[in-house]
Amino acid sequence: MQGRRRLSAKVSRNLEGSLFIAPWLLGFMIFLAFPLGFSLYMSFHKVKVLPEGMEYDFNGIAYYREILFNSSAFYDELIPYFQEVVIMVPIILIFSLLIAILLNQNLRGRFLFRAIFFLPVIFTTGYLLTEFVNQGEGSLGFLERFSIGAYLDTFLGDSSWAQPVKTLLNRFVLVLWYSGVQILIFLAGRQTIPTSAYESARIDGASPWEVFWKITLPAMTPFIFLNLIYTVVDMFTFPFNPIIDLIGTGNYGYSSALAWIYFLIIIVFLFIVMMIFMRLNRGQKLSKG
């Protein structure tokens, strides 16, 4: 009898959970799963738009072979942007972590400062952000004012990293615009650390620098990992991503194949980032042990 009651209670909980996720699951199947599957189908076909409807001629992996082995434009846009992402992601994370620690202090008007840092997330998205940058609002202009570009040319020379570094410095204000969510997550993570840990460290005579490295940073590791994944994904859907412009062509089959290749590259990049982070975190724990 008790076994039946436990079973019925378990079935009831599962049913309740299923009902809660049913709207999301239905929306996912209609608005995401079906378009994804249809784009995968189109990537293997030549798609023609005719007056009487769409016509699909099977093309196999021809588009994939063309993009991977015969398209120099794809690599010419992908590699510089990857270099820019590799530079910009750690800058955003470090900046967000430092600002979150400052905003967690008992400062006058800290709620106003929190709102100021988060407002760009709401206003500078999509087309609005593109218009801001096109009007020159996304550039600080210090490269030309202080001739930093010439110093970079001297220092980096003919390196392939020269142009990504210049682009990033010229759009450095985007770091402010794209750090709002990360600051909010870091701020929430900082508030999960008990004050008793800091009080004990102060009693033991630990300096602020030691407190940061031995208490704050280790406790923020899960939130750093979360922000790392979020920032990487956010950068790959960046409005100024040149790959997105390549995808937006009139050839539906070719564009679908390019989108799936780009998606797989993002997955591989995320996997590499996760493995590096987990290995560094494991090494840090072993050194402490």
Q: Is 2 contained in some domain?
A: no
Strands (E), the chain: 45-50, 53-58
Reported as a single tens digit per residue, the pLDDT across 63-122 is 999 888 887 888 888 888 888 888 888 888 988 888 888 888 877 777 777 777 777 666
CA dist 142 and 148 (Å) reads 7
- Say which CATH number the domain at 137 has: 1.10.3720.10
Domain extent, residue 238, equals 74-288
| Tally of domains within the chain | 1
Asked if 233 and 270 touch (Cβ cutoff 8 Å), the reply is yes
Q: Is 203 contained in some domain?
A: yes
φ, ψ (nearest 5 deg) of residue 82: -60, -40
Query: What's the distance, CA 207 to chain centroid?
Result: 34
CA dist 104 and 177 (Å) reads 20
Q: Whole-model pTM above 0.95?
A: no
* Element at 189 (helix H, strand E): helix 180-190
Q: Is 246 contained in some domain?
A: yes
Asked if 211 and 163 touch (Cβ cutoff 8 Å), the reply is no
Q: Is 41 contained in some domain?
A: no
pLDDT tens by residue, the chain, 289 residues: 555 555 576 777 778 778 888 888 888 888 888 888 888 999 998 888 887 778 888 888 899 998 888 878 888 888 888 888 888 888 889 888 888 888 888 777 777 777 777 776 666 555 666 666 666 555 555 555 656 656 666 666 566 566 666 666 666 666 777 788 888 889 888 888 888 888 888 888 888 888 888 888 888 888 988 898 888 888 887 767 778 778 877 788 888 999 899 889 889 888 888 888 788 777 666 555 5
